[in-house]
Structure 1
Amino acid sequence: MTDVTDAVLGRMERLEWLMSQAAAAQGASALVAEDLLLEEQIRKFGPTFLAKYNTHLFSQAYEDAAISEIFARIGTRHKTFIEIGVEDGSENTTRLLLMLGWKGVWIEGNAGFYNRITDTFANEIASGQLQAIHAMAEPDTVQSLIDSANLGPEVDLLSVDIDQHTSHVFRAIQTSARAACVEYNAHFPPAVDYEVPYVPGAAWNGTNWFGASLKRLEVIAAGKDLSLVGCDLMGINAFFVRNDLTEDRFPKPFTAGHHYQPPRYQLIRPHRGHRKLSGEEARTMPR
């Protein structure tokens, strides 16, 4: 019986090894495909293509790289940010900026996430570098929440990602931003100007019916003197820059039809490089 058991266990171990190798190969193939896609996009848009670096430290997708590229081109003025919808701060759009010494406010409606933020980023909060606000950002309340942080009438970066009602909250914000990162719903074709109607208290149900089309965000941003300068490869985030700062720094025309990227959410995984810092590691790391 022992010999049989050992043989069975041996086959299981080999099967597990083969499965791990297959998963690794699949991950490697996905990264190769992603790199080929990136090469194609650079050929299409030229050297000013915004999302041309497949790298990140803390962002879910490659927002870290795109945002860094924006400010490498337009420069910084205040080194301040507003981010609405940050979860627990371990994987969001402005954490890298925070680590680089920027100052800003995070607005998060989930109590559990907020509590982890206040624990992990206690030092930054105590120093005044980061303000964490526990509140649901709604169109009629978001500006008062921002005003309470006293960041002034203009920030360098505004980020909005709250799934269901992102566009409604984005429209309601009066604080000027030199650049913005806003989630769009890539399931809507780029010619469609549409946003899911605002329903107080409604939350995303996990389907493809949420948020707003890229065209609708283009229209909203135009009312804020912002131009659509690019989207990430995953079809998740749209990036905007203030009109007077675009010049020849980004691919034209600044339209949804030109910059649209379809939903490629599968590219979010596998994660490139080493694992991200855990909350405990972030809390105890030297600043």
Structure 2
Amino acid sequence: MIKRLVKRLSGTIAHSVAGISQLNDETEILVIGAMLSKQQWLLPSTNINDHEFKIFSQFGDDGIIQYLIKHVAIENKLFIEFGVSNYQESNTRFLMMNNAWGGFVMDGSVNNMAHLQRQNWYWKYNLTSKAVFIDADNINGLLAATGFSNIGILHIDLDGNDYFILKEVELSKLNPSIIIMEYNATFGDERAITVPYNKSFDRTAAHHSNLFYGASLAALATEANNKGYAFIGCNLAGNNSYFVRRDLLNDKVKETSLQEGYKPSQFKEGRDKNGALTLHGAAERAKAISGLEVLNIESGKMEVF
């Protein structure tokens, strides 16, 4: 199998997303992922972006996570990820399949969770799932019900109230080694701002552009720091930020500044009033939501974006 895979990937660099995407068989994809993970031991760089590769993640997060679990102390190989859609494309699926981690995932769609539970591999792994719309009132009850403690990764990706959920989460028992947070790069790299809390927040209903959601990197980093977590960087695509518990930092996983670690979003996800992609660049995306009200988490006051 290895010879066949190498032949099919000839002409691509080791972590080529294009090469991986050409493979249809899940077993082959997992073999390639395992090879890429092992190659990380040969890379001297401590820059998490140099370790990016994509297996089941949307962008290069599978590689970042593989690097981190090699160099951050993990007590229990457990993860919690929410906002996973149907889990086909997610940041913990490769971790589960390649490294035998267990976990709990949530999504607000009953159909998405039913789709996940129908997969012919669902029974093979220590994975549980729940269809539930997460808000500040129910999050801690949902997490407590898992019975998890001292977990490896907590991943929050809600496209909405992300800052408020991070602020509300009680970490004393979960005590994750690593926290992954989606940030809204359209909000820029300076202001600590978030969309106002709305228990039933929906990004499309909030604004037709689909760009008015979540929080800035500065807002998330402020709250993570308050909870004892250091910012170590973002993925190259500019949507996920990484935080590691301060007592677990080391010479392979180091704190960085927001200015050094921030990545602008590379993807053009803005939409017009008819729901069609505009394919606008960063400046145009920011202009599309200018004038909308955001909460400055440092002043506690509403202001205009």
Instruction: Say whether the fold is shared (TM-score over 0.5).
Output: yes
Equivalent of residue 139 in structure 1, options 136, 139, 142: 136
Shift of 1:158: 0.5
* CA–CA distance in structure 2, aligned partners of residues 259 and 54 of structure 1: 15
Shift of 1:47: 2.6
Shift of 1:200: 1.5
Equivalent of residue 165 in structure 2, options 169, 173, 191: 169
* CA–CA distance in structure 1, aligned partners of residues 235 and 62 of structure 2: 11
Name 1:156's counterpart in structure 2.
152
**Aligned amino acid, residue 72 of structure 1:** K
Name 2:108's counterpart in structure 1.
109
* CA–CA distance in structure 1, aligned partners of residues 50 and 73 of structure 2: 18
**Aligned amino acid, residue 176 of structure 2:** A
Shift of 1:266: 5.5
Name 2:71's counterpart in structure 1.
73
Name which of structure 1's ranges 52-61 and 233-242 shifts more when overlaid on structure 2.
Answer: 52-61
- 3-state SS in 1 of match to 2:263: coil
* CA–CA distance in structure 2, aligned partners of residues 170 and 243 of structure 1: 17
Name 1:201's counterpart in structure 2.
200
Name 1:88's counterpart in structure 2.
86
Q: 8 Å contact 2:52–2:64 — kept in the other structure?
A: no
Shift of 1:86: 0.8
Q: 8 Å contact 1:176–1:224 — kept in the other structure?
A: no
RMSD value, Cα: 2.0
Q: What's the CA shift string for 1:184-242, capped at 9, x where partnerless? A: 01112211111111112120124322100000010110122111101011110001111
* CA–CA distance in structure 2, aligned partners of residues 248 and 55 of structure 1: 22
Equivalent of residue 240 in structure 2, options 237, 240, 251: 237
- 3-state SS in 2 of match to 1:52: helix
Count of residues in correspondence between the two structures: 219
* CA–CA distance in structure 2, aligned partners of residues 145 and 212 of structure 1: 22
Q: 8 Å contact 2:136–2:199 — kept in the other structure?
A: no
Identity value in percent = 25
Q: What's the CA shift string for 1:16-73, capped at 9, x where partnerless? A: xxxxxxxxxxxxxx98xxxxxxxxxxxxxx9321121342111111110011111111
Output aligned runs, 1:1-287, within 5 Å.
47-99=45-97, 100-120=99-119, 121-124=121-124, 129-152=126-149, 154-174=150-170, 175-205=174-204, 206-252=209-255, 254-265=256-267
Shift of 1:156: 0.5
* CA–CA distance in structure 1, aligned partners of residues 49 and 73 of structure 2: 17
Shift of 1:110: 0.5
Q: 8 Å contact 2:180–2:241 — kept in the other structure?
A: yes
**Aligned amino acid, residue 145 of structure 2:** S
TM-score (norm 2): 0.68
- Where relative contact order (Cα < 8 A, 6+ residues apart) is larger, the structure is 1
Alignment gaps of 5+ in structure 1: 1-29, 32-45, 268-287
TM-score (norm 1): 0.72
**After the TM superposition, which parts of structure 1 deviate over 3 Å for at least 4 consecutive aligned residues?**
none
Alignment gaps of 5+ in structure 2: 1-16, 19-43, 270-305
Q: 8 Å contact 2:188–2:216 — kept in the other structure?
A: yes
* CA–CA distance in structure 1, aligned partners of residues 234 and 198 of structure 2: 27
Question: Cα 1:189–1:228, aligned 2, differ >3 Å: closer, same or farther?
Answer: same
Shift of 1:75: 3.6
Shift of 1:251: 4.7
Q: 8 Å contact 1:167–1:211 — kept in the other structure?
A: yes
**Aligned amino acid, residue 173 of structure 1:** V
**Aligned amino acid, residue 195 of structure 2:** V
* CA–CA distance in structure 2, aligned partners of residues 109 and 53 of structure 1: 31
- 3-state SS in 2 of match to 1:70: helix
Q: 8 Å contact 2:56–2:89 — kept in the other structure?
A: yes
* CA–CA distance in structure 2, aligned partners of residues 170 and 62 of structure 1: 23
* CA–CA distance in structure 1, aligned partners of residues 210 and 102 of structure 2: 35
